[in-house]
Structure 1
């Protein structure tokens, strides 16, 4: 965090209450609370590496856990030197927070073991709908059971338990990056791209080129996990170095903007699963994970109304059928979002470098396509190499689409919100390489800077923390997680059908004719 001349004119306050802070925020001051100290960051917001919007979402709030989880300790030291303006006077009458406690005797399943479901092959559409609807109902009942709870904890008590967990992870060395793991992954990346290019350049039969496209998709799918680490400054811990690593991987090799990803992803971590604020769940006209999207919500990220128009009504009505098909086009959409960011966003850092990187990507990828024997094969190569990256999009949406989208207010503790809005996906340890370790999204959301190779080892400690804090840790196997999300999508889709039927009935009433009379 660079020095700011603004700090030289700060008047240190003896103390500020919550009302003082809220009043100053209304007047235009960018204030937030960190470890019982108040900071003013008006001039720094636009320089924030994580984007200005990430800060705007936390103004006037106590964001101790958010800052600790997403920034290294050296940032805290610079903050107090340049942006501190006074101590926070806590109002003890405004700290009670009810957290969902564990109730093993009434729970629909043991939260310490992955929930599982057996999928039957060749089931009919009706049976498929019944299966996912039952699973979604079971999941919803489980959420309701745990939300009622039996243990009332204040926000301070939850924070103390969470900081105790953080310290335990540090003592165990979980925040130390294991570069040997990256060496092993580099071998995998090199193998995939070598096989892809060798088959493309030396191939002479159709299956050679198709297989080349498959290996290209595998290469991109795996490489994005390291780009993710770089975006979180989780490789070297140095913003500048990790940013260059991210640009190299995302822009030069993948054709996507790491700057866009960081802006989008940081907001997602702050306001997870909030319909108006989280861009990662704003996918109209194709998906709506809450009926709140029926009300033409205003997106604070895109600065526009998300219209629930005729196209949205059609796609959302069948979204549980179209889920995998739509996600298979996810990589094309990432190109679109990257270009919108680089050409029209005013906050872009290193715009020329990123545009250069994406230009280089299209040059080398076009060179590979030039070896295809026909235009038909060019089309097939692009579609296969792009669409087969869809497991990544499934994995990320899986952890959030089926979870809570409620807004429980500014006093909800950070770990409580992350565990309420995020699920983990369990798998055999030998299969971690496929998911990149990021199948443990709940653990990742609690500690975004924690190296993903260590996420599995943290699961038992997170479960212990949930027991102490009275929070619920949602973990399913991959098949069950898919059932949960399809059930959630179907639940919203059914509401569209009901809404259409009501509209038809009302139209009949107004015309003096009921639906029964028409039939």
Structure 2
């Protein structure tokens, strides 16, 4: 049954039978009750094979509709097995979600992008030119520090353009859209757009799954749940996330180190980009991506070198990294304090998982530029292809749908979102300090540290 069925006779298989085809070498999915064999397509899928693998052996209709335009349905017949899903039915919440999606499509909202991209690029040009001008034309150390901060704000706005271009076409053609991705990501920010899409697609499909969502896997620095103490295996990185003595120590103080680490979180993105581009995995347009990264690592060090001394150079770099840390904090606010789970995403509650795993940030319309669409995280996760200029307008409709089905529509102020995130980190930190919860014995721990932990338990009476 693993091969393609050529018979045109309508026949059906059960959901239990479909669930057996959930491996990379035998990958079937259901869309609108039709069964498709996408085993050979997985390695060519523009969004990577992980989204397909995470939903393998299930009905993936909601996710497919969320991430693909109607035109994509025309290609499905190439993978049709001839089988239909037995007793196929959809829940009320999925039905209402699909109606809302069709409504937005009929209104042309997915094609109307407004002037957000133009104004964002204009702001980027002002920030970049101001930073460069200050470096070249001023001798004031204070001005140079401010220029570093402007560079950080420039990277933040560049990140929003990269994020948007990865979800939908921000330019008139695919070629120009690809140019925008490489320019905003690789050339201007030093981050591989290919790595980001690989990571971000997995995050969206498996939102807040501790073992499938890479955006929650930050051991040894942070954990958002005590479930990480059992050293769970990351299905994204394909390795065990060891909660050893070093991780226990760092996590024990994570609510204090959160903001300082976020100031330098960009270093991790640089490292992940290089690991991705020089890995053995298939990387689309690898040479193009590497050349784009090379552009960044030429212009940014060159700009820094024009500062008069090493002290000002270091402060400039720290200022640019620290300001960009605001964006890394924003990434965490939307998910760290929300509901988490272990295991692959289930298509049967796809809508529910997207809503309970995300948090909106309340802000005035004039501050939308600052949050880049992340302030409407619930709407973005439900309709990832929707240009961010429409997220505010659809918010009441999404809120009403959540209320109708008894689902949470989580939204708090920026300040409260920070408080909730820190509380989540603090709760996990206090649990990590509990030495009665031993480190798993199957981990190799430096003997002196193991002895120290053992002695501490004896003296504490645990």
TM-score relative to the length of structure 1: 0.81
Match of 2:161 in 1: 226
Match of 2:183 in 1: 248
Q: Distance in 2 between matches of 1:23 and 1:183?
A: 48
Q: Which has the higher contact order (CA 8 A, sep 6+)?
A: 1
Match of 2:445 in 1: none
The alignment partner of 1:273 has SS state of coil
| More moved, 496-505 vs 311-320 | 496-505
Match of 1:402 in 2: 337
Q: Distance in 1 between matches of 2:98 and 2:359?
A: 21
Pairwise CA distance, 1:173: 3.8
The alignment partner of 1:85 has SS state of strand
Q: Distance in 1 between matches of 2:272 and 2:30?
A: 33
Are the equivalent residues in 1 in contact too, given 2:259–2:329 (CA < 8 A)?
yes
The alignment partner of 2:19 has SS state of helix
Of 170, 173, 178 in structure 1, the residue corresponding to residue 113 of structure 2 is: 178
Q: Distance in 1 between matches of 2:30 and 2:181?
A: 31
Are the equivalent residues in 2 in contact too, given 1:252–1:361 (CA < 8 A)?
yes
Q: Distance in 1 between matches of 2:173 and 2:122?
A: 24
**Alignment partner of 1:279 is 2:214:** yes
The alignment partner of 1:440 has SS state of helix
Pairwise CA distance, 1:508: 7.1
Deviations 1:133-187 (CA, angstroms, capped at 9, x unpaired): xxxxxxxxxxxxxxxxxxxxxx521110111221232344432333422222222
Structure 1: state its 5+ residue gaps. 1-5, 96-154
Are the equivalent residues in 2 in contact too, given 1:328–1:390 (CA < 8 A)?
yes
Q: How many residues align?
A: 447
Match of 2:84 in 1: 88
Structure 2: state its 5+ residue gaps. 440-450
Are the equivalent residues in 2 in contact too, given 1:420–1:472 (CA < 8 A)?
yes
Q: Distance in 1 between matches of 2:98 and 2:165?
A: 25
Match of 2:415 in 1: 479
The alignment partner of 1:413 has SS state of helix
Query: Superposition pairs for residues 379-398 of structure 1, below 5 Å?
Result: 379-398=314-333
**Alignment partner of 1:425 is 2:361:** yes
RMSD: 2.5
Of 30, 46, 50 in structure 1, the residue corresponding to residue 47 of structure 2 is: 50
Match of 2:384 in 1: 448
Deviations 1:288-307 (CA, angstroms, capped at 9, x unpaired): 00111101111111111111
| More moved, 159-168 vs 352-361 | 159-168
Match of 1:297 in 2: 232
Runs (4+) of structure 1 exceeding 6 A deviation are 501-506
Query: Superposition pairs for residues 304-343 of structure 1, below 5 Å?
Result: 304-343=239-278
TM-score relative to the length of structure 2: 0.91
Match of 2:104 in 1: 169
Structure 2 vs 1, CA of residues 192 and 172 (structure 1 numbering), >3 Å: closer, same or farther?
same
**Alignment partner of 1:157 is 2:153:** no
Pairwise CA distance, 1:501: 7.6
The alignment partner of 2:81 has SS state of strand
